[in-house]
């Protein structure tokens, strides 16, 4: 059975998920604290726990919703959800959601009714749990399984340590962990692929038309390897990164508010790409009935390649250059759309070049330089063509490159959030020191961040394991 068709794994010990050493000790204390707080809050201990990790995308930005493959890895930082199904004889079934940090993230109660709408006008963290709740029941219904009414209620306690607004997928970690917790509390388990698909769809209730990368890697990640994620259908292939390289994630300290500013930024890009795809489809001679079904640039890639082929070339970019410039659109009107399409097609190629470089038989240091160059090109494309960077990200990328990064690029949606750098394994600590001096020091001195929190803003990460259910 392919990995993605396996059910979400169920563990009976923390060791299975968190390994050994410090990571395990930290996990033990988090789960113990959750259990105690759950009892204090609800008067019972949880039935079970679920966890889902955040991710860092190494390359392939803003192309998942265009149908192209991406190459992320999971972080060790995760969200844990403790859950208990409410007693069946209680007539007032509700979904009660509390966060371990209830000062910053106030609790929330919603009726046990999967058809309710997510209130987009009030952006609150618990909406992600509501998305997951709706997603599980929609999926159960879509599979034709019986749903007993009145619906059961749940008591939920959440503990997340994935940095928020940092472009490392804290929102999908809540959605995925909540979804598999609710699924398990109902005695159900679906394949990782199904969960990745339905969590991607249900997270859109928040208002962002995201692609499926974040949920897919959270579900399908494997310790020690990054994943090449393909879409339609979702597939995940191991990518073994060169041993001598390490990835360092550093936060620009500018919040990437994907959900709040979605309409003007993220969703706008989705629409621009769709527009580019439809214009190209018409220009390349697709019949009008067909054009109506064109949604993404990958839908018309074949036409673009045939166009290039007939002219002795191979890149889909030729069609963009030729056709998106033609009348009746003015150059100004179509300018942004051309840029977006160029980014998407070139970034899609870089993902494959990255994978080829990883698989090549070159020496590690040659490989690392190639990977670094591709990451740098990806950043330039995100910044210049896709316009999803910001001054703080630019500054941080510069600092990273000036201090030995072989490649550095914004990661995630952008407009803030983190930079991921590829550095040589042996120079991780000196690299982190330089970032502290050249980027974070002034922010510490001005009181923006605390020195003791620095390791939550800049850290090295190895690929970690994926989402899991824990019956402890």
Positions annotated as catalytic residues are 214
- Minimum separation from the CB atom of position 292 to ligand GLA (A): 24
When binding is defined by CB under 6 A, the residue of 211, 463, 465, 466 that contacts ligand GLA is 211
265 part of the interface to ligand GLA, by CB under 6 A: no
**Is the CB of 197 or the CB of 214 nearer to ligand GLA?**
214
Binders of ligand GLA among residues 60 to 89 (CB under 6 A) are: 61-62, 64-65
Asked if residue 53 binds ligand GLA (CB under 6 A), the reply is: no
Q: Which is nearer to ligand GLA, 95 or 213 (CB)?
A: 213
Looking at the Cβ atoms of 210 and 383, the one nearer to ligand GLA is 210
Phi-psi region of 207 (alpha: psi -120 to 50; beta: other; left: phi over 0): left
Q: Which is nearer to ligand GLA, 258 or 355 (CB)?
A: 258
Q: Kindly tell me which of 160 and 412 has the beta carbon lying closer to ligand GLA.
A: 412
Name the minimum Å distance from CB 339 to ligand GLA: 16
The least CB distance from residue 459 to ligand GLA, in Å, is 19
The answer to whether 210 contacts ligand GLA (rule: CB under 6 A) is: yes
- Part in contact with ligand GLA (CB under 6 A); list of ranges 57-65, 180-188, 359-367, 400-408: 57-65
Stretch that binds ligand GLA, among 42-50, 86-94, 207-215, 390-398 (CB under 6 A): 207-215
Mapping DSSP onto H, E and C, the string for the chain reads CCHHHCECCEECCHHHHHCCHHHHHHHHHHHHHHHHHHHHHHCCCCCEEEEEEEEEEEECCCCHHHCCCEEEEEEEEEEEEEEEECCCCCCCCEEEEEECCCCCCCCEEEECCCCCCCCCCCCCCCHHHHHHHHHHHHHHHHCCCCCCCCCCCEEEEEEECCCCCCCCCHHHHHHHHHHHHHHHHCCCCCEHHHHHHHHHHHHHHHCCCCCCHHHHHHHHCECCEEEEEECCCCEEEEECCCCCEEEEEEECCCCCCCCCCCCCCHHHHHHHHHHHHHHHHHHCCCCHHHHCCCCCHHHHHHHHHHHHHCCCCCCCHHHHHHHCCCCCCCHHHHHHHHHHHHHHHHHHHHHHHHHHHHHCCCCHHHHHHHHHHHHHHHHHHHHHHCCCCCHHHHHHHHHHHHCCCCEEEECCCCCCCEEEEEEEHHHHHHHHHHHHHHHHHHHHHCCCCCHHHHHHHEEEECCCCCCEEECC
407 touches ligand GLA by CB under 6 A: no
Cβ-closest position to ligand GLA: 210
Q: Pick the closer one to ligand GLA by CB: 93 or 296.
A: 296
- Residue 58 found at the interface with ligand GLA (CB under 6 A): no
Each residue 163-182 as x (binds ligand GLA by CB under 6 A) or -, in order, gives ------x-------------
- Tell me the closest approach of the beta carbon of residue 215 to ligand GLA, in angstroms: 8
Nearer to ligand GLA, 318 or 382 (CB): 382
Q: Which residues, 409 to 468, sit near ligand GLA by CB under 6 A?
A: 412-413
Does position 214 interact with ligand GLA (CB under 6 A)? The reply is yes
If one asks whether residue 213 binds ligand GLA (CB under 6 A), the answer comes out as yes
| Closest CB 416 distance from ligand GLA, rounded Å | 12
Q: Which spans of this chain sit near ligand GLA (rule: CB under 6 A)?
A: 57, 61-62, 64-65, 169, 210-211, 213-214, 258, 412-413
């Amino acid at each position: 059975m392919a990995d993605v068709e396996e059910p979400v794994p169920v563990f009976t010990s923390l060791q299975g998920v968190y390994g050994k050493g410090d990571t395990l000790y930290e996990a033990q204390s988090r789960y113990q604290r959750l259990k105690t707080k759950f009892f204090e809050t609800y008067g019972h201990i949880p039935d079970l726990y679920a966890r889902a990790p955040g991710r860092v995308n190494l390359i392939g930005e803003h192309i998942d919703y265009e149908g192209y493959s991406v190459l992320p890895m999971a972080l060790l930082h995760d969200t844990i959800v403790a859950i208990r199904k409410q007693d069946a004889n209680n007539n007032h079934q509700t979904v009660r959601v509390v966060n371990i940090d209830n000062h910053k993230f106030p609790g929330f109660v919603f009726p046990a009714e999967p058809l309710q709408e997510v209130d987009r006008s009030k952006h609150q963290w618990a909406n992600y749990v509501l998305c997951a709740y709706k997603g599980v029941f929609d999926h159960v219904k879509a599979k034709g399984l019986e749903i007993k009414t009145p619906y059961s209620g749940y008591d939920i306690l959440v503990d997340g340590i994935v940095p928020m607004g940092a472009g490392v997928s804290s929102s999908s970690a809540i959605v995925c962990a909540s979804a598999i917790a609710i699924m398990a509390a109902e005695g159900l388990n679906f394949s990782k692929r199904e969960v990745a698909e339905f969590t991607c769809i249900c997270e859109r209730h928040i208002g962002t038309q995201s692609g499926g990368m974040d949920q897919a890697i959270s579900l399908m990640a494997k310790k020690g390897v990054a994943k090449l994620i393909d879409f339609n259908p979702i597939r995940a292939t191991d990518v073994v990164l060169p041993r001598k390289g390490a990835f360092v994630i550093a936060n620009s300290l500018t919040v990437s508010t994907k959900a709040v500013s979605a309409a003007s930024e993220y969703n706008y890009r989705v629409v621009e790409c769709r527009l580019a795809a439809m214009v190209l489809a018409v220009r390349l001679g697709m019949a009008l009935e067909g054009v109506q079904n064109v949604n993404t640039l990958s839908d018309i890639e074949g036409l673009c390649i045939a166009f290039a082929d007939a002219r002795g070339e191979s890149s889909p970019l030729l069609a963009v250059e030729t056709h998106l410039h033609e009348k009746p659109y003015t150059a100004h009107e179509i300018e942004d759309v051309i840029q977006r399409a160029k980014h998407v097609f070139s970034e899609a190629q870089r993902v494959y070049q990255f994978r080829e470089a990883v698989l090549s038989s070159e020496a590690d240091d040659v490989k690392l330089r190639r990977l670094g160059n591709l990451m740098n090109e990806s950043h330039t494309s995100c910044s210049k063509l896709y316009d999803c960077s910001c001054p703080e990200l630019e500054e941080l990328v510069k600092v990273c490159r000036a201090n030995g990064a072989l490649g550095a690029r914004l990661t995630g949606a952008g407009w803030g959030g983190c930079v991921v750098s590829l550095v040589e394994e042996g120079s991780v600590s000196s690299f982190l020191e330089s970032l502290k001096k050249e980027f974070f020091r002034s922010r510490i001195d001005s009181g923006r961040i605390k020195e003791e929190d620095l390791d939550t803003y800049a850290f090295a990460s190895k690929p970690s394991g994926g989402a899991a259910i824990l019956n402890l």
